[in-house]
Homo-oligomer: A and B are copies of this chain.
């Protein structure tokens, strides 16, 4: 199970410590405390721009609230057909929007392209207004958009009057993999709003919606409140982000997870009969293994199906986290090789 998800890892000690330290005395609730304000300011520093930041309880809430902020009933949301928001969130975006239509598009390794977007809109955009496109960074197939790929997509989106959302559940892994600044891969590349995830990378539970143009956030606070997504004791989320964003901890943790995934992928690839379905670029690996290997290692719970993956139900997913150790990877690979 240790490669089942980055959600299964504990929180990083520095983050846990920050939570403990925040537990001192009375503090205003619902995000009006000074700690929360300082952390919001810290987001602006990280992104080199005055951003509007809203903490929310889960990644699904972040995606669905951010997207539905721009897409009401009767509008189109463009997404990859493997997008988490499309297949794994129980229709949250459609629900929060009161009935937007998500238009699923194809694309290599979970990536959207301007071409696929324009094709998809062909028969539809004169019948319903398309409002927003959501891309995932890193993608659901473990790939990472380059800056120019994001820019090319957002340029096409802008021409059609679309806003651009980035699902950054694994944003840290993408930034660490790319080695670019958070600003370069988001607003400077044309992204309007993002879901900034912490839970998969060392936090207890810390997710944020970040608007790169603050006026876009008008009305978002009410939207968040009526979704039951305003945390009363915000200090405990702020404390997590405070430690997470300090001293580049978030990128250090993500870089480690990526490195562990590289080590694991390199090993898996060398297994006889193994096939990698996507290039490993961040902390996820999609692979198929001989049935014997699968059964021997008890990997049934790793099985992973995405629409149109062509893997015929034979794909497995492995995820490394900040807490994965080289020894774990080695032990697993050794077990895999043994017979």
Interface members, chain A 65-120 (any B CB < 8 Å): 65, 72-75, 82, 87-92, 94-102, 104, 120
Contact of A7 among B10, B30, B72 (CB under 8 A): B30
Q: Is A264 an interface residue (CB 8 A)?
A: no
- Please report A residues at the B interface, Cβ cutoff 8 Å: 1-2, 4-5, 7-11, 13, 16, 19-20, 23-30, 56-65, 72-75, 82, 87-92, 94-102, 104, 120, 122-124, 127-129, 199-200, 204-205, 222-223, 225-233, 236, 305-309, 323
Known: A124-B307, A228-B61. A101 touches B94 (CB 8 A): yes
In the complex, how many angstroms separate the beta carbon of A129 from the nearest chain B beta carbon? 7
- B residues in contact with A72, CB < 8 Å: 72
Nearest-neighbour CB distance to chain B for A72, whole angstroms, equals 8
Specify which chain B residues have a CB less than 8 angstroms from the CB of A75 in the assembled complex. Answer: 91
A74 partner residues in chain B, CB cutoff 8 A: 90-92, 94-95, 222-223, 225-226
Q: Are A123 and B10 in contact (CB under 8 A)?
A: no
From known contacts A29-B7, A124-B87, A307-B124, infer whether A226 and B92 are also in contact, taking CB-CB under 8 Å. Answer: yes
Asked if A228 contacts B64 (CB within 8 A), the reply is yes
Interchain CA distance A305-B127 in the complex, whole Å: 11
Complex CA–CA separation, A26 to B5 (angstroms):
10
* B contact residues around A223 at 8 Å (CB): 74
Q: Which interface residue of A122, A226, A307 has the most chain B CB atoms within 10 A?
A: A226
**Bound CA span A300–B262, Å:** 56
Q: Is the CB of A90 within 8 A of B127?
A: yes
Docked pose: A1 CA to B225 CA in angstroms: 23
Q: Is the CB of A227 within 8 A of B92?
A: yes
